[in-house]
Amino acid sequence: MHSQRSSEESVDDDTTSNTSNSSVEEQVQEGESDAESLADVLENLVISQKKSLPKVKDKLDQIIQQILEGEIKNIICMCGAGISVGAGIPDFRSPGTGLYSKLEKYNLTHPEAIFEIDYFRSNPHPFYLLSKELYPGLYTPTKTHYFMKLLHDKGLLLRCYTQNIDSLEHVAGLPKDTVIAAHGNFDTSYCIDCKADHDVAYVKEAIMSQNPCRCVKTKGCEGLVKPGIVFFGESLPERFWSSIPKDFKAADLLIVMGSSLVVQPFASLIDKPREETPRILINREIVGETHPDLRRMGYRRGFDFSNDVDSNDIALLGDCDDMIVDLCSKLGWSSDLQDLMKQA
Ligand SMILES: NC(=O)c1ccc[n+]([C@@H]2O[C@H](COP(=O)([O-])OP(=O)(O)OC[C@H]3O[C@@H](n4cnc5c(N)ncnc54)[C@H](O)[C@@H]3O)[C@@H](O)[C@H]2O)c1
Ligand SMILES: [Zn+2]
C-alpha cells in the first residue's frame, strides 16, 4: 500500500544553482578572506548566473515555439501550496510565513503532527483549526490557477496533479476529471475508526463551529470524523496511482509549480515523464535536484539544472504568478488570461 510521507531529504546546497561551483571555489582558495575578496566572489557568482541565463532562455523559447506549433500538446502540471500563496493561503515550509513556522498557534509538538492520524486521534483541534482556515469558499484562485484553466481551454492540459487541499483548481473552472487531488480535499469525509463515509455538510458544520464530530454511521463506533485529506501514513487516492502510467507516458511537457517537493510519493512524480520530456520548475527556490553523485549511481533522476547540454530541465525562479504572466506574454496569451480572469 502506498502512503504519504514527508521526506525532508533536501538537496545539497552546492547543487542548487546554475552557477559553476569550481570557478567560485577557485576564487575562494585564491582570494584573501577579507570583505573585498568576498565581494569579488559574490560579483562573479552573479556574473556566472547571468551567463547561464541565455541557455535557460533558449530552452524556454524552444518550448514556447513547440507549444505554439502544436508539437507540445499534452501538458501535466504538478502543484504545491506555493501556487495558493498569492490567494492568501500560507504554504507550509516558507520560512517566517509558512504554517510550520507558526506552530504555537496550533499548539503542536512538531509540524507534521497536524497531518498525523495518531496525533489527530488524541487531539483533533489543530487540524480542525487548519481546516477552518483552508476551507473552500474563502479564497479566490490565482493567476497560476487560471493559467491551468487556460491550458485546459486550449486543449493542452493533460492533467493537473495537485497536493493542495483548497480546491482552488476547481474554483478556477478546471473540470474534476482534469484534476487529481493527490492529498484529497474537503469533498469527502469519513470516520477514522470504521472508515464509514459521512455527510460533508455534517463535517463542515463541525469544522466551522470547531467542535470535532464523531461517527454517526456505525452503531457503537465513536470514531472521530475527518475530511478526506490524506494524512502521513494514509493511502493516496486510487485514481492517483491508476492515472500515473498513462498520463506521464503521454506527457510532452511537465510544469512543476509552488512545491518544496519533499512530500513523497508526490515528489517522485517528477521522475515519471519520458527522459526526453522537458520539465519546467516555477518556484521561489530550487527544489527537487538530485546530487550528481546520486544521479551517477542511478539513484533517481530528479531535476538537473546545472547541465546545460543534456538536460531538458528549466528553473524559473520567483513568484509563480509573476512567472505565469511572463510565460503568457511569451506565448501571446496575455489577453486570454485576462479575459478568463474577468469572466470568473
Ligand atoms: N493551499 C493548500 O491547499 C495548502 C496549504 C499549505 C499546505 N498544504 C499541504 O502542504 C503539503 C506539501 O507541501 P508543498 O510542497 O505543497 O508546500 P511547501 O510549503 O512544502 O512548499 C511550498 C514551496 O512553494 C514555494 N513558494 C511559496 N510561495 C510561492 C510563490 N508565491 N510562488 C512560487 N513559489 C512559492 C516555496 O519556496 C516552497 O518551495 C501538501 O501536502 C499540501 O497538502 C496545502
Ligand atoms: Zn465509525
Nearest CA-CA partner of 17 in 313, 277, 315 = 315
pLDDT greater than 90 at residue 51: no
Residue 40: predicted pLDDT: 62
Q: How confident is the model at residue 43 (pLDDT cuts 50, 70, 90)?
A: low
Q: Would you say the CB of residue 80 lies under 6 angstroms from ligand 1?
A: yes
Residue 110 falls in the annotated catalytic set: no
Q: Which ligand is nearest to the CA of 287?
A: 1
Give the position, in ligand 1's atom list, of the atom nearest the Cα of 80: 16
CA–centroid distance, 259 to ligand 1, in Å, is 5
Task: Calculate the alpha carbon distances from 213 to 109, 168, 194, 205, 260 in Å.
Answer: 23, 25, 14, 9, 32
Residue 298: predicted pLDDT: 73
pTM: 0.84
Q: Would you say the CB of residue 11 lies under 6 angstroms from ligand 1?
A: no
CA–centroid distance, 128 to ligand 2, in Å, is 18
Helix axes 143-153, 334-343, angle to 10 degrees: 100
Q: Over pLDDT 90: what percentage of the chain? A: 65
pLDDT, mean over the chain: 85
Most confident of 18-22, 56-60, 299-303, 334-338: 334-338
Mean pLDDT for the stretch of residues 227-232: 94
CA–centroid distance, 96 to ligand 1, in Å, is 13
Tell me the three cell numbers of residue 122.
488524541
Residue nearest (by alpha carbon) to ligand 1 atom 32: 319
Q: Would you say the CB of residue 341 lies under 6 angstroms from ligand 1?
A: no
Question: pLDDT by residue (tens digit) across 235-248?
Answer: 999 999 999 999 99
Q: Would you say the CB of residue 148 lies under 6 angstroms from ligand 1?
A: no
Question: pLDDT by residue (tens digit) across 273-321?
Answer: 998 999 999 999 999 998 877 777 776 679 998 877 778 899 999 999 9
CA–centroid distance, 88 to ligand 1, in Å, is 12
Active-site entry in 152, 170, 183, 198: 183
Q: Would you say the CB of residue 227 lies under 6 angstroms from ligand 1?
A: no
Residue nearest (by alpha carbon) to ligand 1 atom 26: 82
Between CA 192 and CA 47 the distance in angstroms is: 55
Ligand 1 test: best mutation among 91, 144, 187, 316, most atoms within 8 Å of CB? 91
Cα angle value 324/330/331 (rounded, 5°): 90
More confident residue, 12 or 86: 86
Give the position, in ligand 1's atom list, of the atom nearest the Cα of 266: 41
Residue nearest (by alpha carbon) to ligand 1 atom 38: 260
Residue 105: predicted pLDDT: 73
Cα angle value 19/25/31 (rounded, 5°): 125
Helix axes 334-343, 320-331, angle to 10 degrees: 120
Mean pLDDT for the stretch of residues 82-92: 93
Q: Would you say the CB of residue 185 lies under 6 angstroms from ligand 1?
A: no
pLDDT greater than 60 at residue 255: yes
Residue 6: predicted pLDDT: 55
Residue 18: predicted pLDDT: 27
How does 116-155 read in b/e, with b if 16+ C-beta sit within 10 Å? beebbeebbebbbbbbeebbeeebebbbbbbbbbbbbeee
Residue nearest (by alpha carbon) to ligand 1 atom 40: 163
Mean pLDDT for the stretch of residues 179-195: 96
Residue 211: predicted pLDDT: 96
Q: Would you say the CB of residue 169 lies under 6 angstroms from ligand 1?
A: no
Q: Which ligand is nearest to the CA of 225?
A: 2
Question: pLDDT by residue (tens digit) across 105-142?
Answer: 777 878 888 899 999 999 999 999 889 988 999 899 99
Q: Over pLDDT 70: what percentage of the chain? A: 82
pLDDT greater than 90 at residue 96: no
Question: pLDDT by residue (tens digit) across 315-327?
Answer: 999 999 999 999 9
Report whether the peptide linkage leading into residue 136 is cis, meaning its omega lies within 30 degrees of zero: no
Q: Would you say the CB of residue 258 lies under 6 angstroms from ligand 1?
A: yes
Please give the distance of CA 332 from its chain centroid, rounded to a whole number.
26
Give the position, in ligand 1's atom list, of the atom nearest the Cα of 164: 3
Q: How confident is the model at residue 8 (pLDDT cuts 50, 70, 90)?
A: very low
Residue 14: predicted pLDDT: 31
